[in-house]
Amino acid sequence: MVFFVLSGFFIHLPYAKTLASGSVEWRLDVRGYAARRAHRILPTYFFALLVTLILDLAGHSLAPALYMSKTGISDLDAAFADKTYSRSMVAWALCLMPSTGFGSNGPLWSLGCEIAYYSAYPLWLAFRRKNRTIAYASVFIIGIAAEVLMRPNGITFTGSGVVKMLLRLYPCWIAGAALAEWLCTRERSISRAQPLPIVPISIGLVLYAANPPAAFIPVSTSLIGVGVVLAFATMPEPWMKQALFRFAEFIGQRSYTLYVCHYPMLVLITAVVIQELGARPSHGWPALFGMIGSCAFCLACFWLCERHFIHRKFRLETTQTLRVQSA
């Protein structure tokens, strides 16, 4: 939920700043936007698919038990039972919709959602220009309807699981866009704003923990995500100069590669450890060294691929060309 709120926040932030400045004659260069998103996302995405395939082939050769769901550990075997390279899995991944991941790389499912939301953004932005209330409310209504109606005993059709996943999480992404506008329209610097992040976090957690009806889930998850992002967006500027935050910034700038490449390496390390021990480890050292090893591997992957596709500027066509900083 935090990931999607953060994504919607940064994608919409340049436009939120333009709207807050009072500019009314603006338009989105859809072709430029699409080219920019594709250039930023797709090379690292396909690189991650290649990395996953290579690591999984190595794992099948070195320590096949985990990959073949034959470790004898019931929960792990159940988790990896559907991680085979089926035609359906490969096809969905190549079509940028890895709804169940790709091979051992389960976390890739969220990239499919992200690409869908990027694709829908120009259309949503056109509605936002005509009527802000309807543009935001309609997304939440659709997300709630998907959560309520597309249940196991409700509406089903081919691909209904993928559609439900996209629709039920879309409110989180749009909530990030709403947060960007909320901060900008009050003529406050993000670093100087003083809202109370604890309020949306608390309300969202209470709703989420109370096992609410399905209709409340898109609302509660959006509130939690907005609260967390808001807490970081409004931190005092002196904190950013501390070593811990500088390290977090360093990692954050490389977080895309870390996210899309870390899991296959963790799976490979886990497979080798279980193969050598004959059982699940009973201490935390493999986890510690696995974390360090996978992070180091991902930093090398960042150097090989993503660093060549990082954008320093974002171009927005208006009555006069504006150039603003973008994430």
- Mean of the per-residue pLDDT values of the chain: 84
Q: How many CB atoms lie within 10 A of CB 224?
A: 23
* Of residues 104 and 314, more confidently modeled: 104
pLDDT of residue 49: 96
Closest CA to 137 of 151, 121, 124, 154: 124
Q: Which of the four pLDDT bands, split at 50, 70 and 90, describes residue 210?
A: low
How confident is the model over 149-196, as pLDDT tens digits? 877 666 666 567 788 889 989 999 999 999 998 888 765 544 444 556
* Of residues 58 and 212, more confidently modeled: 58
pLDDT of residue 320: 32
pLDDT of residue 94: 92
How confident is the model over 293-323, as pLDDT tens digits? 999 999 999 999 999 998 765 433 333 333 3
Supply the pTM of this predicted model. 0.85
pLDDT of residue 193: 47
Distance CA 327, CA 314 (A): 9
The residue-averaged pLDDT of 75-97 equals 88
The answer, yes or no, to whether residue 72 has pLDDT greater than 70, is yes
Tokens of 235: 């931190």
**Among residues of the chain, what percentage have pLDDT more than 70?**
85
The residue-averaged pLDDT of 219-247 equals 84
The answer, yes or no, to whether residue 100 has pLDDT greater than 60, is yes
Four-residue CA torsion sign, 31, 170, 96, 160: negative
Q: Where are the alpha helices (DSSP H) in the chain?
A: 2-20, 30-62, 64-67, 74-79, 87-94, 109-130, 132-149, 160-185, 198-209, 217-233, 243-252, 255-277, 285-304
Q: Per mean pLDDT, which of 16-30, 158-172, 278-292 is the most reliable?
A: 278-292
In this structure, what are the phi and psi dihedrals at residue 174, rounded to the nearest 5 degrees?
-70, -30
The backbone region for 159, taken as left when phi is positive above 0, alpha when psi lies in -120 to 50, beta otherwise, is left
The residue-averaged pLDDT of 82-92 equals 88
* Of residues 240 and 4, more confidently modeled: 4
pLDDT of residue 169: 92
Counted domains in the chain: 1
The whole domain housing 221 covers: 2-188+196-325
The residue-averaged pLDDT of 129-148 equals 91
Instruction: Determine contact, residues 294/266, Cβ cutoff 8 Å.
Output: yes
* Burial environment of residue 42 by CB neighbours within 10 A (0 to 12, 13 to 18, 19 or more): middle
Q: Which of the four pLDDT bands, split at 50, 70 and 90, describes residue 327?
A: very low
